[in-house]
Structure 1
Amino acid sequence: MVAFSTLSPEDQATALHVRKVYAHLEQVGVPGDGFADGIERTREHRRLSTNPHTQQSIDLTEPELAVLRCADRYGFFKNPGSERLIPLNPRTFFPSTISKPNPEVNSITHQSSKEHEIEANRISKWTEMLEGDKRDEGSNIISYKLSDEWESQRERFSKRCYKGIPDRWRRAAWDLLIKDYGIRNQVGKWESVEALFEKFEEDAMLPSDQDVQIDLDVPRTINGHVFFHTRYGRGQRALFQVLHAFGMYCETCGYCQGMGPIAATLLNYFDAQMAYVCMVRLHDWYNLHTIFAPGFPGMVECFYVQERVIEYLLPDVHNTFTAQMISTSSYATKWYITLFANTVPFEAQLRLWDVLFLDGIDVLILASVAIVYALRGQLGPGNDFEMILSKLGGRFELGEGGAIGWIRSIRKLGRRKDLRSIMSSARVKWKGFVKDGSASKMVT
Structure 2
Amino acid sequence: MTEGASQALPCDPGSESRIDPYGFQIHHDLASYQEMRSEYVAVLARRSTRWSKLLQEKPQVEKNLTVKRFVRKGVPNEHRARIWMVASGAQEELERRPGYYHSLLALEHDSKLKETIQMDMHRTFPDNVLFGNRAEPSLQRALYNVLLAYGHHNKAVGYCQGMNFIAGYLIIITRDDQKSFWLMDALLSRILPDYYSPAMLGLKTDQGVLGQLVKAKAPAVGQLMAQFPGVWTLVASRWFICLYVDVLPIETVLRVWDCLFYEGSKVLFRVALTLVVRHQPEILRARSLPDVCACFKQITSGAFTLDCHTFMQKIFTEPGSLSMTTIDKMRDKCRQQILEEESGQS
Whether TM exceeds 0.5 here: the answer is yes
Alignment partners' CA distance in 1, 2:39 and 2:32: 17
Report the CA distance between 1:130 and its aligned residue. Answer: 1.4
Report the CA distance between 1:440 and its aligned residue. Answer: 8.2
Matched, 1:399 2:303: yes
**Could you say if the C-alpha distance between residues 254 and 424 of structure 1 is closer, same or farther in structure 2, counting changes exceeding 3 Å?**
closer
**8 Å contact 2:252–2:308 — kept in the other structure?**
yes
The letter for the 2-side match of 1:159 is R
Deviations 1:160-192 (A, max 9, x none): 211111122212221222129x9xxxxxxx744
Matched, 1:206 2:108: yes
- 1:239-278 map, 5 Å: 239-270=143-174, 271-278=176-183
1:168 corresponding residue in structure 2:
78
Matched, 1:73 2:14: no
1:3 corresponding residue in structure 2:
none
**8 Å contact 2:36–2:307 — kept in the other structure?**
no
**Could you say if the C-alpha distance between residues 416 and 215 of structure 1 is closer, same or farther in structure 2, counting changes exceeding 3 Å?**
same
Matched, 1:145 2:145: no
**8 Å contact 1:204–1:244 — kept in the other structure?**
no
- Gap regions ≥5 residues in structure 2: 1-8
**Could you say if the C-alpha distance between residues 373 and 80 of structure 1 is closer, same or farther in structure 2, counting changes exceeding 3 Å?**
closer
Report the CA distance between 1:382 and its aligned residue. Answer: 5.2
Alignment partners' CA distance in 2, 1:326 and 1:154: 39
Deviations 1:385-419 (A, max 9, x none): 111101214683242663233322322257616x7
**Could you say if the C-alpha distance between residues 296 and 194 of structure 1 is closer, same or farther in structure 2, counting changes exceeding 3 Å?**
same
Alignment partners' CA distance in 2, 1:302 and 1:355: 18
TM-score (norm 1): 0.66
Report the CA distance between 1:242 and its aligned residue. Answer: 0.7
Residue 303 of structure 2 aligns to a residue whose secondary structure is coil
2:88 corresponding residue in structure 1:
178
**8 Å contact 2:167–2:180 — kept in the other structure?**
yes
1:120 corresponding residue in structure 2:
45
Matched pairs, number:
331
Report the CA distance between 1:128 and its aligned residue. Answer: 1.2
1:368 corresponding residue in structure 2:
272
The letter for the 2-side match of 1:412 is T
User: Max radius of gyration: which structure?
Assistant: 1
**Could you say if the C-alpha distance between residues 424 and 80 of structure 1 is closer, same or farther in structure 2, counting changes exceeding 3 Å?**
closer
- 1:405-420 map, 5 Å: 405-412=310-317, 416=321
**8 Å contact 1:204–1:241 — kept in the other structure?**
no
Alignment partners' CA distance in 2, 1:108 and 1:80: 6
Matched, 1:315 2:207: no
Report the CA distance between 1:205 and its aligned residue. Answer: 3.6
**8 Å contact 1:227–1:234 — kept in the other structure?**
yes
The letter for the 2-side match of 1:211 is K
Report the CA distance between 1:112 and its aligned residue. Answer: 4.9
Report the CA distance between 1:422 and its aligned residue. Answer: 4.7
- Gap regions ≥5 residues in structure 1: 1-32, 36-63, 82-105, 134-143, 183-189
**Could you say if the C-alpha distance between residues 156 and 397 of structure 1 is closer, same or farther in structure 2, counting changes exceeding 3 Å?**
same
TM-score (norm 2): 0.83
Alignment equivalent of 1:296, drawn from 187, 191, 200: 200
Normalized per residue, the structure richer in strand is 1
- 1:5-404 map, 5 Å: 68=16, 70-78=18-26, 110=35, 112-131=37-56, 145-146=60-61, 151=62, 154-179=64-89, 191-193=93-95, 195=97, 197-208=99-110, 209-230=112-133, 234-270=138-174, 271-288=176-193, 290-325=194-229, 327-380=231-284, 383-393=287-297, 396-399=300-303, 402-404=307-309
Residue 256 of structure 1 aligns to a residue whose secondary structure is coil
The letter for the 1-side match of 2:278 is A
Alignment partners' CA distance in 2, 1:107 and 1:177: 33
**Could you say if the C-alpha distance between residues 374 and 383 of structure 1 is closer, same or farther in structure 2, counting changes exceeding 3 Å?**
farther
**8 Å contact 2:72–2:258 — kept in the other structure?**
yes
1:95 corresponding residue in structure 2:
none
